[in-house]
């Protein structure tokens, strides 16, 4: 069963680009202070980010498949998302609820850490660092060169370059993969029958060798 984590929002705002007159307000704001229809941010373990007001869906983002199309950073008690696809951009701002400003900052930092399981974060300006991780540590983990090959065990965050993933699966480097690569979207069940089918298939060995060859080719590019 899918699990999730939720946060109450003070407000949610969505930027509407392309306003043609000065009377049009570019930001559409949804206030979360109304007890009858509060606004919540929910992140499912499958990588879906949902913003809901009651039964109304204000926004849905699939963090896993967003790749370079989305940039995220925290500013004070806000998380700012910028989406760019096919030359078009849009932005959303999530302000977190808290009994004090400090509480809002902490909730935003915790939510940011959850987002970082699926996406690299571009900056953390004016924000406390997520628990157990400093800004220096995060920057090192995300920007580490894909050409670093050796016996040293690396702990990395964010999305990894294809070359580094190929090195990992070929056993050339030791990595602790980000949480993103630990989320399994396959149906749960006994894999033994499937493995038996693969191993008994005479063409399977050649397929494995071909995959290994393609990985080695990627390292040479």
**Which range among 3-7, 160-164, 177-181 has the greatest average pLDDT?**
3-7
Shared domain for 208 and 115, answered yes or no, is no
> Is the model's pLDDT at 158 over the cut of 90?
no
98, 169: one domain: no
Could you tell me if 102 and 156 lie in one domain?
no
Residue 9 is predicted with a pLDDT of 95
How high is the mean pLDDT of the chain? Answer: 74
**Strand 78-85 versus strand 174-176 pairing type:** unpaired
For residues 61 and 190, the model is more confident at 61
* Residue bearing the bigger pLDDT, 144 or 174: 174
CATH (domain of 113): 2.30.29.30
- pLDDT by residue (tens digit) across 147-156? 444 445 566 6
Q: Which residue has the tokens 């306003």?
A: 19
DSSP letter assigned to residue 196: H
Domains of the chain: total: 2
Res 127 pLDDT > 60:
no
Of the three residues 120, 146, 167, the one that is the final residue of a domain is: 120
User: From CA 102, how far away is CA 85, in angstroms rounded?
Assistant: 34
Quote the pTM value: 0.55
How do beta strands 56-62 and 4-15 pair?
A: unpaired
In a domain, 152, yes or no: yes
Same domain, 33 and 111: yes
H or E, element range at 204: helix 204-220
Strands (E), the chain: 4-15, 27-31, 39-44, 48-53, 56-62, 70-75, 78-85, 88-96, 153-155, 174-176
Separation CA 86–CA 65 (nearest Å)? 15
83-92, 102-111, 138-147: range with highest mean pLDDT: 102-111
**pLDDT > 90 in the chain, percent:** 20
112: its two tokens:
């940011």
Q: Buried b / exposed e across 139-159, counting CB within 10 Å, b at 16+?
A: eebbebeeeeeeeeebebbbb
More confident position, 68 or 44: 44
136 sits in which H/E element: helix 135-143
Residue 106, classed as helix, strand or coil, is helix
Of 3, 5, 30, the closest CA to residue 16 belongs to 30
In contact, 161 and 143? CB cutoff 8 Å = no
DSSP letter at 220 equals H
Mean pLDDT of 164-185: 70
Q: Are residues 116 and 199 in the same domain?
A: no
For residue range 9-58, what is the model confidence (pLDDT) as tens digits? 999 998 866 655 555 567 889 998 777 789 999 998 888 899 999 888 89
Which residues span the domain enclosing 176? 136-220
Q: What is the CA radius of gyration of the chain?
A: 21
Specify whether 93 is located in the same domain as 150. no
| Residue 157: pLDDT over 80 | no
Has residue 111 got a pLDDT over 60? yes
Q: In the 8-state DSSP scheme, what is residue 66?
A: T
179-186 mean pLDDT: 57
Q: Give the pLDDT confidence score for residue 151 in this predicted structure.
A: 45
pLDDT at 82 over 70: yes
Contact partners, residue 11, CB within 8 Å, separation at least 6:
29, 30, 31, 32, 33, 39, 93, 95
* Residues 189-213 pLDDT 10s: 566 777 777 788 888 888 888 888 8
């Amino acid at each position: 069963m899918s699990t999730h984590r939720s946060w109450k929002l003070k407000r949610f705002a969505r930027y509407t680009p392309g306003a043609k007159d000065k009377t049009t307000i570019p930001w559409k704001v949804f206030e979360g202070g109304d007890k009858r229809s509060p606004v919540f941010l929910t992140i499912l373990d499958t990588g879906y980010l949902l913003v809901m007001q009651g039964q109304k869906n204000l926004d849905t983002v699939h963090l896993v498949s967003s790749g370079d199309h989305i940039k995220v950073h925290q500013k004070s008690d806000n998380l700012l998302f910028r989406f760019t696809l096919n030359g078009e951009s849009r932005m959303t701002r999530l302000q977190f609820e808290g009994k004090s400003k400090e509480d809002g900052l902490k909730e935003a930092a915790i939510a940011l850490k959850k987002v970082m399981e699926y996406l690299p974060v571009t900056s953390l300006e004016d924000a406390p660092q997520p628990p157990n991780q400093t800004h220096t540590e995060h920057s090192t983990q995300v920007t580490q060169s894909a050409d670093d090959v050796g016996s040293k065990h690396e702990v990395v965050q964010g999305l990894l370059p294809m070359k580094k993933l190929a090195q990992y699966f070929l056993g050339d480097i030791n990595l602790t993969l980000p949480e993103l690569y630990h989320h399994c979207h396959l149906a749960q069940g006994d894999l033994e029958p499937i493995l038996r089918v693969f191993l008994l298939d005479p063409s399977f060995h050649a397929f494995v060798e071909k995959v290994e060859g393609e990985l080695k080719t990627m390292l040479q590019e």
